[in-house]
Structure 1
Amino acid sequence: MDWTSLLSNERLRDRKYSEARNRSIFTQDYDRIVFSEPFRRLANKTQVQPLYEHDHVHHRLIHSIEVGSVGRSLAMSIGQWLVEEDEIAAGEENAIANIVQAACAAHDIGNPPFGHSGEASIGAWFARAFDEARGVCGDLDPELHPQFCHFEGNAQGFRIIARKEMYRNDGGMRLSKAVLGAFMKYPLSAATHAGLSDYRSAGYFGAKKFGIFNSDLGLFAEAASSLGLPQIAVGPYQWWRRHPLVYVVEAADDICYNIVDLEDAFTTGELPFDVVREALFNLAEKPNRGAQGMTQAEEIALLRALSIGRAIDSCLEAFKQNYGEIMGGTFGQGLVEAGRLGAQFAAIRALAKARIFTAPRKTELEVSGYRIIGNVLDGIAPIYDRLGAKGWDAEALDAHSAQVVRVLGLDLRDVRSPETALHAMGDFVSGMTDRYALRISRMLSGI
């Protein structure tokens, strides 16, 4: 892979678009993302801690902005090193920073309500519907089942930015191909992911999840071709190598959620000051700067800031040390794990797994969220079943179904098959905020 192609500013489905002299395409990409409705909705979606019980914990919108800040700083440092190594021309470090910031802003845009448990809830509902052959779910090609019963926010995010938002079915937001490449954490379909388990265990493939719905493969293929991402084939399965800047976006996300989850746990009282201070003190490499006169919250905030700075330095070193593998598309780790602070981050993840992710308030949220999402899908599924029975003619729906469509604002424009029906259901429920999902669940349940 080479940076000339990897930094492509060609827009998806809009090759004639030219860059304004005073505003780069990558900056415009960021603006398109942050002014979009799906981005705004992140303000009412759970990050880790349940919302509405404490004003100072993170939600997904704040998290996305912070990831963009960290990603931009790390990308700028990497870009400056690439200039020094004559890998890119002077000035292109700014392009790299802007690409990463835009991709970071979008990285959670497809996530459903109630955190990652929301993904599991949606997937579990579809899996049950497939097992019972319910309505349109019973008519779907079995090869397409994995992308619904293992519902993935990353794939939904690509669907939003490349298909659904702005230029509907014609490139979506029409972002630059460089930003789409940096966004695509898992450049493969669900069917390929499911079929590659043996190859992954043998070390041929490192992706944990899938990142592209079957219907969107053509859109990513357009971007991958312009970016020069190598395509790989193993047996009947094909996928692409990761864009090098994916590692930077991923690192920024890893840095933020690992560190900030600790700060939030201290804020909510789920972890005591001494435990959080020790973890961040070690991550910040035992700084000499004192905390005399500071409150506990101020000291935690200081250690959080110092830890982020050290983590950026660690990831920069890891990028340099593994540059050949990253450019070859064969690097199998994250920059956080590969850096000098890998052990400290592993300790924080273990602490979070043991004491944050199992906290009563979070467990209560996941249990109620699971039921809420199930109620919503149970409530809207009959609409799509009836639509299929009417030959996908929305005008032929009965009066009650048409009333539900109006009340919920269900978008039936593209629903012409079982696959498009299930995507429309996924679009609706994953686009909900936590609060809206609760309200609609109650309404559909007659409460």
Structure 2
Amino acid sequence: MDWTQLLNPGRLCRPDYADKPDRPAYLQDYDRILFSEPFRRLAQKTQVHPLYDHDHVHHRMIHSMETSSVGRSLGIQVGQALVKDGRLQEGLQHVIAGTVQAACLVHDIGNPPFGHSGEASIGAWFAQKFAADAGKRSGIAGGIPPERRAEFTAFEGNAQGFRIVSRLEMARREGGMRLSYATLGAFAKYPCTAAAAADAGHSYVGLKKFGTFASDEDLFAEVATALGLPEERTAAGHRWWRRHPLAFLVEAADDICYRILDLEDAATVGDLDSAVVSEILEEITGKPNRAPDPGMTLSDRTGMLRAMAIGAAIDSAVTAFLDHYDDIMAGTFNDGLMEVSSKASAFKRLKEISNARIFTAQRKTELEVVGRKVLFTILDEFHDLFIALKDCNWDAEQLLQEHGYWTQLVRAVDLDLRGIEDDYTAAHALTDFVSGMTDRYALRVRDMITGQVPS
């Protein structure tokens, strides 16, 4: 792989789009993402702690913006080092930094309400439907080909994110947001379909999950070809691609932010003692050379250590990228940067603490149960709507003419019925709708369809 092709500023479905020196592709990408409705909705989507009113607890938008900031720092430091070593043309360090920044900003745009538990809930609902509809054609699950069912039973926010930016946004025009090839490549941590990931197993870091749906595979193939990403085939013939080198920086920025800042959030909401958090952060930064300011509160000290820990983690990720540069550029590097960095043991401890203390916190667990019930209720109701649409031979106008209740519901939630022509596209329209909800809007829709009187 070479940087000239990897930083291709051409746009999805508009490969010859001219890059503007005064407003390069990565800046346009950043603005398109920032001003989009799906990004705006991230302000009301769970990061880790659901439905908190505390102003200082992270939601998906703040997490995305902080990740974007860290990604920019990673990009400029790596870029400058490559320029100094003669591996990158002068000036392209700014393209790398801007591309990573834009990709980080969009990295969570496909996440459903209630965080990762929302992904699991959508997957569990579809698993039940596939089991119930086995051999039947009455619901929309029974007609989906078996090789495509994992797209729903293992619902993946990364693939939904690519679908949003490449297909659903900007009035569903060809190419969606038409982001640059470089940004889309850096965004794609998992450059494969669900079928390819299942067939290949975990033989490569980019196959741990899937990052595109089968219906969007050709769009991703356009991106991969434009960037020169090496293409591979599974034993069954499914395509997958080696990661874009900048995807490792996007992943590292995400790891740095959520591992460190989830810890700070846990102290804020009382799931972890601030003194414990400070001690853990010191493991990343080393103890400060000077004694704490006597006027500094424990919260102030935690914030200072958090900032120092992020800086130290950035430096370690940059070093790891440069140390493994040849393998990364060859497409053979098979790990995460933080896992091979000088902070690997500290980040492993952060993961262990998160699993043992943060992800199992009582309030979080209770609200994840609530979130599952909310999503199941919504999916059940709107599944019935799509069955009615199927009975109308997928004719939305006929549905709206013949079914008064469904007409009211479609209008009440502004449900998009475009492009639905079979069970598979109907299932994606259903997940588009539900995964696009914010946490509180999901509660509002649940209340509406169960007959709760608005307060």
If the length of structure 2 is used for normalisation, what is the TM-score?
0.95
- Structure-1 separation of matches of 2:406 and 2:327: 54
- Structure-2 separation of matches of 1:425 and 1:233: 31
Matching residue of 2:450: 445
- Secondary structure of the corresponding residue to residue 158 of structure 1: helix
Matching residue of 1:141: 145
- Structure-2 separation of matches of 1:290 and 1:420: 61
- Structure-1 separation of matches of 2:393 and 2:13: 31
Matching residue of 1:57: 57
Structure 1 residue 371, shift from structure 2 partner: 0.4
2:183 equivalent to 1:179: yes
2:351 equivalent to 1:349: yes
1:164 corresponds to which of 158, 162, 168: 168
Residues 182 and 244, structure 1, Cα contact 8 Å, conserved in 2: yes
- Structure-2 separation of matches of 1:138 and 1:323: 47
Matching residue of 1:22: 22
2:80 equivalent to 1:80: yes
Residues 51 and 57, structure 1, Cα contact 8 Å, conserved in 2: no
2:436 equivalent to 1:431: yes
2:236 equivalent to 1:214: no
Q: Aligned Cα RMSD in Å?
A: 1.1
Q: 1:329 to 1:118 in 2, by over 3 A?
A: same
Structure 1 residue 400, shift from structure 2 partner: 1.5
Q: Deviations over 1:39-68 (max 9, x none)?
A: 000000010112333111100000000000
Matching residue of 1:358: 360
Matching residue of 2:409: 404
- Structure-1 separation of matches of 2:206 and 2:213: 19
Kindly tell me the number of residue pairs found equivalent between the two proteins: 443
Kindly report which structure 2 residues correspond to 1:231-250, keeping only aligned pairs within 5 A, or say none. Answer: 231-236=231-236, 237-250=238-251
- Structure-1 separation of matches of 2:280 and 2:207: 28
- Structure-1 separation of matches of 2:266 and 2:425: 40
- Secondary structure of the corresponding residue to residue 270 of structure 1: coil
Listed as ranges, the gaps of 5+ residues in structure 2 are none
- Secondary structure of the corresponding residue to residue 240 of structure 2: strand
- Structure-1 separation of matches of 2:366 and 2:53: 13
Structure 1 residue 17, shift from structure 2 partner: 2.2
- More deviation in 399-408 or 4-13? 399-408
- Secondary structure of the corresponding residue to residue 57 of structure 1: coil
Letter in 1 for 2:276: V
- Structure-2 separation of matches of 1:410 and 1:204: 38
Structure 1 residue 101, shift from structure 2 partner: 0.4
- Structure-1 separation of matches of 2:15 and 2:361: 50
- Structure-2 separation of matches of 1:152 and 1:204: 18
Structure 1 residue 140, shift from structure 2 partner: 1.2
Residues 167 and 173, structure 1, Cα contact 8 Å, conserved in 2: no
Where has structure 1 moved over 6 Å in runs of 4 or more? Answer: none
- Secondary structure of the corresponding residue to residue 436 of structure 1: helix
Structure 1 residue 205, shift from structure 2 partner: 5.7
Structure 1 residue 6, shift from structure 2 partner: 0.2
Q: 1:422 to 1:56 in 2, by over 3 A?
A: same
Letter in 2 for 1:350: E
- Structure-2 separation of matches of 1:300 and 1:61: 22
- Structure-2 separation of matches of 1:20 and 1:332: 35
Structure 1 residue 374, shift from structure 2 partner: 0.5
Residues 194 and 213, structure 2, Cα contact 8 Å, conserved in 1: yes
Kindly report which structure 2 residues correspond to 1:204-353, keeping only aligned pairs within 5 A, or say none. Answer: 207-236=207-236, 237-293=238-294, 294-353=296-355
Matching residue of 2:387: 385
Residues 199 and 234, structure 2, Cα contact 8 Å, conserved in 1: no
Identity %: 54
- Structure-2 separation of matches of 1:375 and 1:318: 46
- Structure-1 separation of matches of 2:258 and 2:323: 24
Structure 1 residue 206, shift from structure 2 partner: 5.2
1:420 corresponds to which of 418, 425, 428: 425
Q: 1:167 to 1:10 in 2, by over 3 A?
A: farther
- Secondary structure of the corresponding residue to residue 381 of structure 1: helix
2:370 equivalent to 1:368: yes
- More deviation in 21-30 or 254-263? 21-30
Letter in 2 for 1:356: I
Letter in 2 for 1:124: A
- More deviation in 228-237 or 306-315? 228-237
Q: Deviations over 1:243-294 (max 9, x none)?
A: 0000000000000000001111111111012210110011112231432221
- Structure-2 separation of matches of 1:246 and 1:291: 38
- Secondary structure of the corresponding residue to residue 233 of structure 2: strand
- Structure-2 separation of matches of 1:388 and 1:169: 25
Structure 1 residue 235, shift from structure 2 partner: 1.0
Residues 167 and 174, structure 1, Cα contact 8 Å, conserved in 2: no
- Secondary structure of the corresponding residue to residue 136 of structure 1: coil
Letter in 2 for 1:439: R
Letter in 2 for 1:440: V
Residues 190 and 210, structure 1, Cα contact 8 Å, conserved in 2: yes
Listed as ranges, the gaps of 5+ residues in structure 1 are none
- Structure-1 separation of matches of 2:52 and 2:263: 19
- Secondary structure of the corresponding residue to residue 252 of structure 2: helix
Residues 51 and 59, structure 1, Cα contact 8 Å, conserved in 2: no
Letter in 2 for 1:401: W
Residues 178 and 227, structure 1, Cα contact 8 Å, conserved in 2: yes
